[in-house]
């Protein structure tokens, strides 16, 4: 069982112009994380457009990340599905290929009650012995994993943490206050890393650290050392980037600007607008990742 702590990159799923997977491009992103001081990666998460991936595509990306990492970085596979049975199948596959853990959203669209959500996670844990990270992202059509429910869920074997992507800092504080002594609480919002970690979060799962891995790790190190003055300086510097790449189309636009494989988002997502791309471009220039003439 690994310690869920640090900065984890939510990898994109690069596509070709015909929307098929760009496997070599995906491997390049995995290698970028491996070659950094960042702590690990999440495969087929929200920024990986998991909702548009088939089960076979998800499995293929999971296995590539595990094989390429060779134990050098923590690999977490996002396996959230509406069905408990389908989620169990993906968990079993991830266990078989040697993934370090799985990240699981509560079922979406159907909105089970708290007892149904508890049973969902309990059934997965009983089926597969693999570390489980809860993923709370209610603004994307999922039930809210409020702190009282998470307190119940911490009783389930294998649950080691939660990616808390609720916009409420109050809920983040409640998660840490009531559940932080049992599981790791990580921010799921790229722009609130410093506020979250200053009150006890153990890190973040987001995509912006891949753009600036050295700066991201220095940011993490300063927070861990309690150097809030230094951390605040970096926080304000990275904030425009974190805010400007809030979804897969914008993230892919940013990666294209710095020469990394991205491709288009899959429909119904549309490419970013000229206005959005200009904000990303300015943020990357200010961070020294992109030159002015680009």
Per-residue pLDDT of the chain (294 residues; tens, 9 = 90+): 789 999 999 999 999 999 999 999 999 999 999 999 999 999 999 999 999 999 999 999 999 999 999 999 999 999 999 999 999 999 999 999 999 999 999 998 888 999 999 999 999 999 999 999 999 998 766 789 999 999 999 999 999 999 999 888 899 999 999 999 999 999 999 999 999 999 999 999 999 999 999 999 999 999 999 999 999 999 999 999 999 999 999 999 999 999 999 999 999 999 999 999 999 999 999 999 998 764
**Residue boundaries of the structural domains of the chain:** 6-228
pLDDT of residue 293: 63
> Could you give the angle at the alpha carbon of 120 between the alpha carbons of 107 and 114, nearest 5°?
75
Residue that is written with structure tokens 């996670």 in the block: 121
Residue 30 CA to residue 28 CA, distance in Å, equals 5
111, 105 in Cβ contact below 8 A? no
DSSP assignment of 106-148:
PP-SS---HHHHHHHHHHHHHH--S-EEEEE-GGGT-----HH
Burial 75-85 (b: 16+ CB within 10 A, else e): bbbbbbbeebe
Residue with tokens 């149904």: 116
So what's the pLDDT on residue 141?
66
Name which of 46, 130, 53, 138 is nearest 88 in CA terms: 130
Q: What is the CATH number of domain 6-228?
A: 3.20.20.70
CA proximity to 139, closest of 174, 102, 113, 105:
105
Q: β-strands 74-78, 101-104: how paired? A: parallel
> CA Rg, the chain, in Å?
18
pLDDT at 30: 98
């Amino acid at each position: 069982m690994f310690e869920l702590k640090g900065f984890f990159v939510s990898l994109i799923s690069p596509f070709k112009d015909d929307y098929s997977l760009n496997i070599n491009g995906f491997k390049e992103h995995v290698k970028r994380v491996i070659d950094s001081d960042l702590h690990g990666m999440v495969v087929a998460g929200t920024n990986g457009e998991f909702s548009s991936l088939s089960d076979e595509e998800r499995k293929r990306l999971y296995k590539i990340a595990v094989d390429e990492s060779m134990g050098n970085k923590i690999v977490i596979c996002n396996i959230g599905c509406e069905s408990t049975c389908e989620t169990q199948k993906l968990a079993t596959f991830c266990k078989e290929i040697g993934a370090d853990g799985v990240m699981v959203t509560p079922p979406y669209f159907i909105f089970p009650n708290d007892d149904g959500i508890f049973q969902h996670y309990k059934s997965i844990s009983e089926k597969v012995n693999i570390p489980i990270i809860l993923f709370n992202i209610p603004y994307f059509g999922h039930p809210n994993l409020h702190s009282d429910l998470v307190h119940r869920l911490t009783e389930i074997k294998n649950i080691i943490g939660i990616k808390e992507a609720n916009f409420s800092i109050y809920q983040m504080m409640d998660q840490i206050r009531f559940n932080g002594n049992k599981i790791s609480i990580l921010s799921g919002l790229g722009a609130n890393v410093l506020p979250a970690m200053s009150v006890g979060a153990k890190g973040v799962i987001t995509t912006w650290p891949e753009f600036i891995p050295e700066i991201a790790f220095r940011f993490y190190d300063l927070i861990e050392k309690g150097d809030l003055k230094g951390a605040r300086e970096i926080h304000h510097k990275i904030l425009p980037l974190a805010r400007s790449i809030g979804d897969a189309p914008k993230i892919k636009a940013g990666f294209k600007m710095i020469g990394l494989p991205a491709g288009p988002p899959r429909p119904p997502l549309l490419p970013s607008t000229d206005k959005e791309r200009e904000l990303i471009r300015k943020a990357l220039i200010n961070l020294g990742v992109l030159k002015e003439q680009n």
